[in-house]
Structures are given as C-alpha cells and as structure tokens.
Structure 1
C-alpha cells in the first residue's frame, strides 16, 4: 500500500514493516499453484515456543477450525509454531506439525499444535486435501527472519477477499518498549475500503470465507492483555470493509516473546499498533496478490492499483 502512496495510521513501522520485525519471530511458507490446486502452508515460528509463550485467542465469529484454540484459552500459552492452511487440510497440517515437533523432542508426550485455516475452495480443489508432511516440514524448515512473501503465497495462494484476489499480508508498528507485528490470511467478504474510500468490485461467489490474524509482540504483556490486543485485531477487519458474514471464521491469535509486567493504562499505544498493523497487513494481502484462475475455471482478479491511486488521491487520502 505504501508503494501506492497510501499510509495507514501514524505510528512508525519496523524496518521490514512485517511480523518478522518482532525479534526472533520467523516465517516460512510452502506454495502449491498447479491449475486446480492453489493452496499451501504458512508457518509463524516464535522464539522459545517449546517453553510456552503467553498467548490468547479472540473469536470474531467461530465458523472455522482453529486447532488447539481451547488449550490456548485455558492455559494462556502457545507451545508450538502457528500454522495456516486451507480448511480441509488443517487436520493433516496439525498431524504433520506434531510429527515435526516429536522429531525434535524425543521426550515429548503431549503437544498442542495451533493450526488455523480459511476456505480456498473457490480457486482450489479443496476435497483433494493436497498438503503432505513434506509441505509442512518445508514451510517450517525454511522459516527465517526475512521479509515474508505476500499475496498469492503459502496459505494465501487460493484465497480471495472483498471481491478481489487476496492472500498473505503483513505489517508492523514500533511503540515504546517494543514492536507489534501482524500477519493475515485474508479470505472474507464485504466492500474493500481504503482509508474510508470504497473500492468497488464484482462480487465473488466464494462461500465459507474467513480471516486468520496472527499478532506478535515483544512487549511484556500477559495472556489477559494479549486477549485485549487480539480483540483489536478483529476490530480492524471493519476498517477495510469486512461484513463479518455468518459463514466467516474470524480469529486472531496474539502472543508475546517476552514475559514481564505491563500496566493496562499503558495499552493505548499497543492497541493502536495492533489496529494499524492489521489494517495495513489486510490491505497488503490484496495489493500484493495477482489475478488467479483456478479450480473449475474460477478467476479472482487482482485489485487495480491505478483505481486505488485514483480514488484515494481524489479524496485527499493518499500521501
């Protein structure tokens, strides 16, 4: 979005404007794009996950399959990487993640894999469930602190949002004492809105749409406070035009890489950082995607960059 002259919010970004600006957080992805199959895996790998990291889940609408969410709610921790994929592959991905973890810890007897999904059936033959352990392991093994690829990659290869082709997006904000980063898998309905300006699109008949949001930080917040951050991530969907459809599974997972003590009165700036980074990540997930024709000849068109420039500049909203 920044390449189009559109700047979301007022807080500064991290060096990469990505979730990997949070120290130690890595991202890896595996992409399958072969005609009728447009899907993949996106892995968010926090540092020290095996020791348990404070975490929380917020549910905007629970029409989805977020494996492992109840234990995160109960204990307020994550103990594995967070993986994203297509709906009917979520169970295979969870099993492959457990296998990957067991290979690395011969003493483990209980693990809580955290795997989310959105429904990419419009562009991918979802019933084939093409994800294999090799795809999952490749995403995990390739994870790095580099700028993650955005758009039609990983778990976002076959997704669409707000009438356009979408996918993976990321962004970050720097606040006092730390960084907040977000990564999204966009696949939901509504009217694309850029800084209050509607961007018209032909509707896509792609039921089962959802959005997965992962928020990372190195602030010393606890699980309860992370729940408050996660809820702000869900709120950010409205800023880009989500209609929160009844068949949409809208989830946010928030975690921190650092334990500490943080006063609730000091959450104003982190709240703003979450809202801004999620909003920009959602917009990046669309502007970084390309037109894709997939299963059954269905096509999701990329949002026209010139249209965004024209409409936002015309309303005085582009920088």
Structure 2
C-alpha cells in the first residue's frame, strides 16, 4: 500500500514508472530485513536490517558527483568529509541502525577490496544510520557483514519494499510506525527527459506537526485516535533521525547537488519535520549524468593520458524546477514509508502504531482548517 493507492497525490509533476528511486537508470536497491512483522502485540527482540543504494554497477571504480546537506547533526553518515572535499561518491550508500553502522561500513570496505583486488588505495564508503532502539534490541548487534553482502547481491531496479523493511525496519516516523520509503519525479527539458528519485529512512518527527499537502494530519489523528509510542521520559519526542538519499540522471555538478540535498530538507520540513535537537537529519544527492567520464583517474598513467576531462552541467535556470521535484519526492517518500508500515511492538514493550488508512483518507478529504481540526 502506498499514498497514491489511498488517492493522495503530492505535487503536480509526473512520477517515474515505479514512483521510486530505482526509476533513475542504473540505480538499484537491495535490502535485508530482520523481523519487522507484527506478532499480535507480542514483543519482538529483533527489528532491524540494512539497505543498500547502488548508483550504478561500476561505482567501485567509477565515482559519481555528489553533494550533501545537514539539517541537524545528531546522527552519522560516514565518508561525508571526502564527499564535501572532492564532490565525489565512491561507494554504494548503505543505511542501517545506529549501532550497526561500523560493521556495515567495514563490510563495504571488504566488498570494495574484493571488487578491485590488491593495491595501495583507500576506501571511504558512505553509511548512514537512524536509531531503532525503541523497537529493536539495538545493543544485540544483530546486523552482520553477511547481511550487507546479501543486500548488495539482491540489489535490483525493481520497486523497493517500503515500511518495515531494510534499515528502516524498526523506525518510528511522526510517532506512527515509520521506516523505508521512496518516490520519483520526471522532467522534460530541451536536453531530454530526466528522472529524480528519493529514498528515505524515516525515524523522525512529532505527531502534532505532521502535515500532508497542508492538512494537519497529526493534529487530526491525535493520540486519542492512534496511541503514541510509550517511550521513556528522557526520550524527547521527535528524536530519532531521517536520512534522505537523492538520485538523478541529470548531469549536475557537486555544488548543484549540494543545493538539491538542501532542498530535500525542505521536503522534510513541509511534512512537519523540525530538525529536532536529537534528530540526525542528513541528506545526500548524487548524479549519474556524467557517467563514462570519471571525475579522476586511479593511476598515474591514466592521469597523464587524461589531463583534462569534459563534463556536462544542467543550466542554472532549471534549478528551481528540480528543487520542486526533490521537495515533492521527499514528501511522498516519507508518506509512503508510513502508509506501507505495519504496527510493531519492540522488545521493551514500546508499540509504534501504523497510521490508519481510513483515518488518513478522512483527514485528507476534510482539508486544512485554521483551528487544526
């Protein structure tokens, strides 16, 4: 079940065929899900996993241009300093829980070494996390390197599963059950048709701030209608984080991708995210539009042979149109993760309830009102 299955459309721009990040040519997504299945209200100890987003099959040897943005920094995404410094993404992007970030990062290094063979090179893979410790025994370290390898092997261009899946399995979004979500948009230009896709791992937000197309859904579907998760007193509402991955085949340069990543934060904000104090709200955007023209060569001989590399750049006057695409796709990806999610009870008795589809449809049909009801 997705937002559009409920008759909810965000924005006016067309989607790709699957309304997914995998609509961007060459981009694939793989997941391993551990748990995540409702057990009639019974606690489940393991609700976690790992998600891998692969820009293209040759990413291990052929970087792509990338850019980043930080809305709030109570989170981690490895490899960002090199992305900021060089404007290049040199690995797949993996998403998991906070305490599994290290093992997933090390597994990506192993995979890159296996792909490229021996040599005096370095690996700075990009791995991001959100905290699933309310619904998962996070200190049990249930995610292993084998799960990362399996996710990579299963990566496909098909529509990724949403909700309680992959790294998003144990996540909570706007105090409903959250998780993994995706969406895409396309645009016609004089240079051809381009696609932009978004994937989110959403574990952020407060109920009362949730807004869909300007409708105060969180205020309408309050705690009296759908209970809030019973989190510990020291756990501030809205804590937990969101990671947004933006992919496009439009030939953007790194500084333009920084701007796209920044606008993804506006999509988070339009849905009601506020970058709360203990929320790690991190965005990364990459472009496959300059594939076949590596940003740099790996060895001295190649560098001598290719002292100058020509690249393409989207015209600045198209940036506003792409801003609209990334904002819309981010909003819809967040909504999709909630619509697709199932109610889940974690090992400590915390239950994150799925958003009720009928209540959501009634709220949307009522439309926004000044009093928030």
Match of 1:180 among 196, 200, 205: 196
Report the CA distance between 1:201 and its aligned residue: 3.6
Q: Please give the alpha-carbon distance, in whole angstroms, between the structure 2 residues aligned to 1:311 and 1:20.
A: 31
List per-residue Cα deviations over 1:145-175 (Å, max 9, x = no partner): 0000000000110000101001000000001
Residue equivalent to 1:44: 53
1:81-96 mapped onto 2 (5 Å cutoff): 81-96=92-107
1:274-285 mapped onto 2 (5 Å cutoff): 274-285=326-337
More strand, by proportion:
1
Residue equivalent to 1:117: 129
* 5+ residue gaps, structure 2: 37-43, 291-311
Larger-Rg structure: 2
Residue equivalent to 2:84: 73
- What secondary structure does 2:244 align onto? strand
Residue equivalent to 1:133: 145
Kept in 1: contact 2:216–2:368 (CA 8 A): no
- What secondary structure does 2:106 align onto? helix
Match of 1:226 among 240, 253, 257: 257
1:165 aligned onto 2:177: yes
Report the CA distance between 1:65 and its aligned residue: 1.2
- What secondary structure does 2:47 align onto? strand
Kept in 2: contact 1:68–1:112 (CA 8 A): yes
Kept in 2: contact 1:215–1:255 (CA 8 A): yes
* Greater displacement, 13-22 / 92-101: 92-101
List per-residue Cα deviations over 1:80-126 (Å, max 9, x = no partner): 00000000110111001111121111045211110000000010011
Report the CA distance between 1:316 and its aligned residue: 8.2
* 5+ residue gaps, structure 1: none
List per-residue Cα deviations over 1:191-224 (Å, max 9, x = no partner): 3211111223434335541000000000011000
Q: Please give the alpha-carbon distance, in whole angstroms, between the structure 2 residues aligned to 1:33 and 1:64.
A: 24
- What secondary structure does 2:99 align onto? helix
Kept in 2: contact 1:163–1:192 (CA 8 A): no
Residue equivalent to 1:257: 288
Q: Please give the alpha-carbon distance, in whole angstroms, between the structure 2 residues aligned to 1:84 and 1:269.
A: 28
- What secondary structure does 2:149 align onto? helix
Kept in 2: contact 1:163–1:201 (CA 8 A): no
RMSD: 1.4
1:214 aligned onto 2:245: yes
4+ residue segments displaced more than 6 Å: none
- What secondary structure does 1:238 align onto? helix
In the superposition, the TM-score normalised over structure 1's length comes to 0.96
- What secondary structure does 1:295 align onto? coil
Q: Please give the alpha-carbon distance, in whole angstroms, between the structure 2 residues aligned to 1:10 and 1:29.
A: 30
